Amino acid sequence: MGQSEISPGQVIADENASDGKARQQDAGNAVSSGALCPSAPWKQEGAVVFGIAGGTAKAPRVMFLKQMMAPAPELEAKLKGVEPEEVFRVAAPCAGARCQHHNGETKGCNLATNIVQQVDQVYDQWATCGIRANCVWWAQEGTKACVRCPQIATRNKVPSEEIRRASTPSPVSA
Ligand code: SF4
């Protein structure tokens, strides 16, 4: 990932999980609790596509899908080298403490907090969004997250300064 790209809620390495069991268990816990990260990597286990970026590269405006799509290889092939996270918004089970944006003290999502505190809203009203009932950002920040969320592309090579800053992971403290 280049320095100018923003950071999705990527799973970070778990030093204690050499066989991946702990990670799977964490994802399983997230599935059972229903918590979904709305800025997940395309290839994360349990991923689902819930939005498509409209607007421009500098000012994306996500359009939320009425029907979720699977992040299928055929869909990726149509992008002809463009990274899926530049075009699609993907949700996946929250990785909890294994995510680079996880706040070890509050157990919350630093990315959601930073977006609400540092990025201007782009709409006055929140759009219909297919993952709202399970969205970690919504659960934590409510409508303040939703009126900012459509300008987020999980991978953006030309992010605004405020989005670049808000997306920079804070040190994981747990
Ligand atoms: S923050 Fe709101 S608009 Fe964004 S994915 Fe979550 S529920 Fe949907």
With residue 118 as reference, give the H or E element that holds it: helix 110-118
Q: Is the distance from CB of 136 to CB of 109 less than 8 angstroms?
A: yes
Q: How far is the CA of 131 from the centre of ligand 1 (A)?
A: 7
Is any atom of ligand 1 closer than 6 Å to the C-beta of 94? no
Distance between CA atoms of 39 and 44, rounded to whole angstroms? 11
SS3 86: helix
End-to-end Cα spacing for the chain: 24
Please choose from 90, 121, 135, 154 the residue to mutate so as to test ligand 1's pocket, defined by most ligand atoms within 8 A of CB: 135
Q: Can you give the pLDDT at residue 57? A: 83
Give the residue extent of every domain in the chain: 21-167
What residue owns the CA closest to ligand 1's atom 1? 146
Could you list the pLDDT tens digit for every one of the 174 residues in the chain? 333 344 445 443 333 333 333 333 333 333 345 899 999 999 999 999 999 999 998 899 999 999 999 999 999 999 988 999 999 999 999 999 999 999 999 999 999 999 999 999 999 999 999 999 999 999 999 999 999 999 999 999 999 999 999 999 876 444
pTM for the whole thing? 0.81
Please choose from 138, 148, 152 the residue to mutate so as to test ligand 1's pocket, defined by most ligand atoms within 8 A of CB: 138
Q: What are phi and psi of 160, to 5 degrees?
A: -65, 160
What residues have CB less than 8 Å from 101, skipping those under 6 apart? Answer: 7, 9, 109, 110, 111, 169, 170
Q: How far is the CA of 37 from the centre of ligand 1 (A)?
A: 9
Q: How far is the CA of 87 from the centre of ligand 1 (A)?
A: 16
Please choose from 39, 65, 124, 131 the residue to mutate so as to test ligand 1's pocket, defined by most ligand atoms within 8 A of CB: 131
